[in-house]
Amino acid sequence: MSLLLRVATFNIRNSSAPDGDDSWVLRREAAAGAIEGLAADVVGLQEVLPDQLEYLRETFPQYEIVGAGRDDGVAGGEHSVVMIRRGKWRVESHETRWLSDDPATPGSVGWDASLTRIATLVRLSHEGGALVGIANTHYDHLGEVARVESSRLLDRWTAGEPDRHWVLVGDLNVEPGSAPLTALLDAGWRDAVPAGAGGTFHDFTGATDQERIDHILVGKGWQVVDAEVSHHRPGGRLPSDHWPVVATLRLGV
């Protein structure tokens, strides 16, 4: 017996950024259309501020959306939320941890990171009995040590639950071949996205050949059926300064 899981990651760009014609209020319908077009069971989002979270909850009642703010562990600051389509998957538990030496302390900053960074860990069970874990994260954009240590933390946390099949998604702020990704691959994770899939960060240019810094990595038990960077522009509008990434995964159970 096997089951399929379609999973995606998307940095939606925070609503407080001074983006002019690309500001959140002008592109939020396009962002929602891009999410809908992914047709995913699970979506990890980054840079979600409270007003954006409220909009997403109103727009996507078919999803349960979990995750806490990085500033205070409640609602303050950016969230790395996980959206789970209601139905076959049940949320057993979820938690937010800080990418630092003190991961249980809200607002803690790790190593040489420039900002507070978090990961949202979600434990799911399938109606058929399979146990799955989703880790959604956003690594620091400047701290080289922090990014490597964040990879080590996430691997350690997920390795501590060997009966669960984990998928790691997020904006890791590094390209394939970098030290943080190498640390994960050396630990047994696999990159779900083909090398030639194109870039994900485009800075509202629409370019498809820039850096691929948004990733989906799979742990034990998963087979990758397909994976791609989505370049969908609902209504002709760019939904974010990143392109989303989506993969269909098969788990033998």
Given a cut of 60, whether residue 113 has pLDDT beyond it is: yes
Task: Give dist(CA 193, CA 149) in Å, integer.
Answer: 23
d(CA 144, CA 123): 29
Average pLDDT over residues 43-70: 98
What CA–CA distance (Å, rounded) separates 61 from 200?
Answer: 27
Is the pLDDT at 24 greater than 90? The verdict is yes
Contacts of 150 (CB under 8 A, 6+ apart): 99, 110, 117, 119, 137, 139, 140, 180
**Which residues, 6+ apart, have CB-to-CB distance to 61 below 8 Å?**
none
87 burial level (CB within 10 Å; 0-12, 13-18, 19+):
exposed
- The mean pLDDT value of the chain amounts to 97
Percent of the chain at pLDDT > 90 equals 97
Side chain identity at 124, as an amino acid letter? Answer: L
pLDDT of residue 206: 98
CA gap 247, 106 in Å, rounded: 31
Give the confidence band of 2 by pLDDT, cuts at 50, 70, 90: confident
**β partners of residue 172:** none
113 or 88, which is more confident:
113
Q: How far apart are CA 119 and CA 143, in angstroms?
A: 16
Examine the pLDDT at 132 and tell me if it is beyond 90: yes
Of the chain, the percentage scoring pLDDT greater than 70 comes to 99
Instruction: Report d(CA 44, CA 83) in Å as an integer.
Output: 6
**Phi/psi-derived region of residue 165, left when phi > 0, alpha when psi is between -120 and 50, beta in every other case:** beta
CA distances, 39 to each of 81, 142, 213 (Å): 17, 33, 22
Do 34 and 232 contact (CB within 8 A), yes or no? yes
pLDDT score for 134: 98
pLDDT at 252: 79
* Whole-number Cα distances in Å, 14 to 1, 112, 193, 220: 41, 23, 25, 33
* pLDDT grade for 253, boundaries at 50, 70 and 90: low
Confidence of residue 34 (pLDDT cuts 50, 70, 90): very high
Tell me the per-residue pLDDT of 150-199, one tens digit each, with 9 for 90 and over. 999 999 999 999 999 999 999 999 999 999 999 999 999 999 999 999 99
Copy the structure tokens of residue 117.
């960074």
Domains defined for the chain, CATH in brackets: 2-252 (3.60.10.10)
